[in-house]
Chains A and B, each alone.
Chain A
Amino acid sequence: MKIEIKDKKDTRSGFGAGLLELGRTNPNVVALCADLTGSLKMNAFQDEFPERFFQCGVAEANMMSVAAGLTIGGKIPFTGTFANFSTGRVYDQIRQSIAYSEKNVKICASHAGLTLGEDGATHQILEDIGLMKMLPNMTVINPCDYNQTKAATIAIAEHEGPVYLRFGRPSVPIFTNEDGSVSFTTNSKFEIGKAQMLNEGTDITIFATGHLVWKAIKAVEILEEKGMSVELINMHTIKPLDEEAVIASIKKTGCAVTAEEHQKNGGLGESIASVLIRNHPAPLEMVAVNDEFGESGTPDELMAKYGIDTPNIVEAAEKVIARKHG
């Protein structure tokens, strides 16, 4: 597997670009932000559609419930703040006014995970996927690069129901096409709820999401050089999980590694494990943060220290293949 990098950009800019395009194409799309317009890249939408942009100040709970209210009358609200303030801080508002009330709100969350960097653990939420996937009616999406985040932003406007869209702060390689599809070793489009095949293989499956997809691509290169046949699947949609694709792949490879910028508890790995145990038990290793808070540092330093980098995926893959044969 050899991927050409087209460019590097932050996924939050993909969100900003997608939101601006939605502003131009869908008059019902409105946006709300809690004093982080620049960080969320929502300025362009704000400038072009001031009547459809609502500054909420540092008051996220209010923002979530206002968004729920805006759906009554047919608006499609996109809320923007950091992932920490989009989930943990406002869990009850999301639970009652959005998820239980089945409101068509798009919760767009930037600066998720360790790669937020120097701000430290107060802002580095690693539990948000778990919090959101536990809520009935909620769809959870964690795209992998700029293009896919833009495509996902546009796609969720057409998807009826509450959505949690998670993206991040740092610049990361762009390897998907403008519509979020891929066309390297496989042709695979981006579609909510569908696993995206990036590389076919027979020895092991790597299920990765978000920023860890690029880390996994690099791991596949290393593993292939070592003579292994590796299947790589981008699980951009964590809920609803594409169980069919997971089972089909595991039946072929017989073991798996999951990779994500999240706690092991409540993350993608846990969801995949649940599918395997209920359908086709197989050895599984999880590359994720192991029940601890982050700290200040650069994104790269943090990924390495907390064990969610390319070498960790390679190591987990070798371990799980050995378990399969053991």
Chain B
Amino acid sequence: MHIFLVAKRLISLKTDLRTIPESYQQLPIFFDGKNLFLAAIESTLKMLETIEKPIETMSETSSIDWDYLQKFCSQTRRDIVRMTNGVNSGHPGGSLGCTEFFVAMYNVIMKHDPKNFTMDGIGQDVFFLSNGHISPVWYSVLARCGYFEVGELATFRKLNSRLQGHPATEEGLPGIRVASGSLGQGLSVASGAALSKKLNNDSNHVFSLHGDGELQEGQIWEAAMFAVAHKIDNLISTIDYNGRQIDGDVDDIMPLGDLHAKWVAFGWDVLEMNGNNLQEVVDTMNEAKNRSGNGKPIMILMRTEMGQGIDFMMGTHKWHGVAPNDEQLKQALAQQEETLGDY
């Protein structure tokens, strides 16, 4: 962790790599065949370069560093299980399932500026997480994209932390624009922010993510009508359609029926994708952006696997809100390679 922080600091000071003290260059620890410090510098540089790439070039599939994105996913999955294990609480299941989505959004799809976060988000795309309980994946991706120090992930859910159990604005964590956790409110908030963009003649997008269990909240359907009535066509919302909620499978708890037909019937432009396939996420989100501005809000039904990437957490609802114990953490970490350095 410290090596990466030092690396980031040196880079932020625009240090010439040749001036790095020899003692660092001769560290006896190796990673990927390189001195660990140089490997850290290289990977941090790569991360910063990706962030700073203008959106136009990043959106072109040919310029995307897929290998880096995969590594980012692996590291974020490690963060998720480590963060939840560290406080024996939190929601790893949905976080793991949405990892590719967040990594694609913040590295490829969204136009945003991690170093100059503003609440108003004018001139940028803005993102709302309505199912706030999957905060671990959001915090990990925000930190590793440069919104705040990666080391701060260690404070998740602890006293005096900015990383509240559910996202909040009160502590001023960059990247968060509204509190969420009590479900069903985010589609309305995103609709309001999208209207605000229109009033400001700001042509950027508003994105939101929702759980499928969350669709049982009536307010979602109030917002579904509102966004269509007001032709909020700069809004691109996504549903984490993993079919699971705290008490069991969504089909057993409160079935959603034909979800695609429901959103179409409400007047939305509906797309579907496999949320655990990076390429498909990038392609579909780009397609959604292309379709925006046509008088309709856009809804993406994103099929995911709760617990994706950790074998014993998949195929069940049981890891919705349960943290892995130390033994389970060990098993989980063995399945996801440390690529960008643990916090």
Contact = CB atoms under 8 A, between A and B. Distances in A.
Given A72-B119, A72-B120, A102-B169, 10 more contacts: A30-B199, A55-B229, A59-B222, A61-B185, A67-B192, A68-B188, A68-B192, A96-B185, A97-B178, A101-B168
A1 interface: no
Contact of B193 (A56, A64, A73, A96): A73
Contacts of A52: 199
Given A72-B119, A72-B193, A66 B188 contact: yes
Instruction: Give the interface residue-count category, chain B.
Output: 35 or more
Given A57-B226, A59-B226, A102-B170, A72 B177 contact: yes
Nearest to A30: B199
A92 interface: yes
A51 B121 contact: no
A72 B196 contact: yes
Instruction: Give the interface residue-count category, chain A.
Output: 20 to 34
B187 to A, nearest CB: 8
B11 interface: no
Contact of B178 (A54, A59, A61, A103): A103
A69 B196 contact: yes
A265 interface: no
A101 B1 CA distance: 32
Contacts of A100: 168-170, 179
B181 interface: yes
B2 interface: no
B195 interface: yes
Q: Sort A-B residue pairs by CB-CB distance and give the 5 closest, nearest first.
A: A69-B192, A73-B196, A65-B188, A62-B222, A59-B222
Given A59-B222, A97-B185, A69 B122 contact: no
Interface of A: 30, 51-52, 54-57, 59, 61-75, 77, 92-93, 95-97, 100-103
Contact of B225 (A57, A67, A93): A57
A72 B188 CA distance: 13
B230 A74 contact: no
A55 B181 CA distance: 27
A65 B193 CA distance: 10
Given A57-B226, A59-B225, A62-B222, A74 B192 contact: no
A56 B190 CA distance: 15
Given A92-B182, A102-B169, A73 B199 contact: yes
A75 B199 contact: yes
Contacts of A92: 182, 185
A65 B195 contact: no
B179 A73 contact: no
B239 interface: no
B192 A61 contact: no
A55 B195 CA distance: 13
Given A61-B219, A73-B200, A93-B185, A66 B195 contact: yes
A218 B197 CA distance: 51
B176 to A, nearest CB: 9
B194 interface: yes
A30 B192 CA distance: 11
B135 interface: no
